Amino acid sequence: MIDVVNIQTQPVSKSRISECDFDQLVFGKTFSDHMFVASYDGKGWQDLKIVPYGDLSLSPALSALHYGQAIFEGLKAYKSQSGEALVFRPVENLKRLNKSAERLCMPTLPEEIFMSGLTQLLSIDRDWIPSKPGYSLYIRPYMFASDEYIGVKPSENYIFIIFTSPVGAYYNKPVKVRVEPHYTRAAPGGMGFAKAAGNYAASMYPATLALKDGYDQLLWTDGVEHKYFEESGTMNVMFIINDTIITPPTTDSILKGITRDSVLQLAKDWGVKVEERPVSVAEVMQAIQAGTLQEAFGVGTAATIAHISVVGYEGKDYTLPPVAERKFSNKVLKVLDEIKTGKAPDPHNWVYRV
- % helix, strand, coil for the chain, step of 5: 25, 30, 45
Q: Which is nearer to ligand PLP, 255 or 264 (CB)?
A: 255
Q: How far is the CB of 55 from ligand PLP (least distance, A)?
A: 26
Alpha helices by DSSP H, 194-298: 197-212, 258-269, 281-290
Listed residue (282, 285, 344) closest to 88, CA to CA: 344
Interaction mask 224-263, ligand PLP, x per CB under 6 A: -------x--xxx------------------x-xxxx---
Q: How far is the CB of 230 from ligand PLP (least distance, A)?
A: 9
Spatial distance between the Cα atoms of 214 and 335, rounded to a whole number of angstroms? 31
- Selected binder of ligand PLP within 90, 130, 300, 312 (CB under 6 A): 300
> How many chain residues are in contact with ligand PLP, going by CB under 6 A?
12
Shortest distance (Å) from residue 14 CB to ligand PLP:
33
**Toward ligand PLP, which CB reaches closer, 69 or 259?**
259
In whole angstroms, what is the distance from residue 31 CA to residue 16 CA?
9
Which of 116, 119, 247, 301 touches ligand PLP (CB under 6 A)?
301
Q: How far is the CB of 190 from ligand PLP (least distance, A)?
A: 13
To the nearest 10 degrees (0 to 180), the angle between helices 327-340 and 258-269 is 110
What's the alpha-carbon Rg for the chain, to the nearest Å? 21
What do you get for the CA distance between the two ends of the chain, in Å? 13
> Which DSSP string do the residues of 182-193 spell out, in sequence order?
S--S--TTSSTT
Site for ligand PLP in 184-213 (CB under 6 A): none
| Identity of the residue, 235 or 351, whose beta carbon is nearer to ligand PLP in the bound complex | 235
| Segment 56 to 85, residues that bind ligand PLP, using CB under 6 A | 74
Residue count (the chain): 354
Nearer Cβ to ligand PLP, position 104 or 258? 258
Nearer to ligand PLP, 301 or 309 (CB): 301
Is 200 in contact with 191 (CB distance < 8 Å)? no
Nearer to ligand PLP, 248 or 300 (CB): 300
Residues of this chain, 104-143, that bind ligand PLP according to CB under 6 A: none
- Residue 252 gets which letter from DSSP? T
Least separation in angstroms between residue 68's CB and ligand PLP is 16
For the bound state, the minimum distance from the C-beta of residue 207 to ligand PLP, rounded and expressed in Å, comes to: 11
| Burial of 154 (C-beta count, 10 Å sphere; 0-12/13-18/19+) | middle
> Could you list the residues that contact ligand PLP (CB under 6 A)?
74, 231, 234-236, 255, 257-260, 300-301
